[in-house]
Amino acid sequence: MKLLAAQIERYIPHRVPFIFVESAEVLGPHDISGICSWKADNPIFAGHFPDFPVVPGVLIVEAAAQLTGVLIAYNAEQRGISSNGSDSADMVGMLIGIKRASFHRPVFPGNRLMFKVSLGSALGGMVSASAEGYSESDDKTVKCELSVAVANRSNLIGVPDPVGSLANEKIA
C-alpha cells in the first residue's frame, strides 16, 4: 500500500517543519519503506552548521521513528482498534529509546534518504524496530534500532509537564 503526504499525516501527528516522511509503502504488517527529506530552507540549518549545513543525526533517527509510527498506526487502522481496544485514531507512537545508531555518511539539506523499517517484538505497548537508510546513490547512511511506545492520546492528557512547571520558575 503506497502512502502519500496527506495519508501519512493521518497516521502521525507531525507537521511541517517537523515531518520528514515524504512518502511510504507498507510492504507487510512488519515492514515499511519510505522516502525522507530535509528541505534546504528548514530553519535548523541556520545553526547546524551555518557554513556547512548537515542534517543532525537525531533528525535522521527521528525520520526512522516517524516511519515506524506510520506502520504501527496503519496496522492499527487495518485492525480497527488499538492495542488496548480503543479507537485507532486515538493512538500515537512515541520514540522512547534508541538502542543503537550508526551513521555512515553525512546527509545534507535537499538529500533524500530511502528507509526500510522492520518491526520487531512487541511487549506491553512497546514495539522494537530496526531501520536502515540509504542515499539516492544507494550508499548506506544510517542504521538504528528503536523502541516506540504506543499510547492513546486521551491517556496522555493531564500528564505532568516537568519542563512547563520549571519554565515559570525564576533562576537565581
Contact 71, 91 (CB under 8 A): no
Distance between CA 161 and CA 113 in Å, rounded? 34
Q: Which among 113, 17, 31 is positioned nearest to 72, based on CA atoms?
A: 31
Contact 93, 72 (CB under 8 A): yes
Q: Which among 128, 132, 131 is positioned nearest to 140, based on CA atoms?
A: 132
Whether 14 is catalytic: no
Which DSSP state fits 139? -
Catalytic site positions: 48
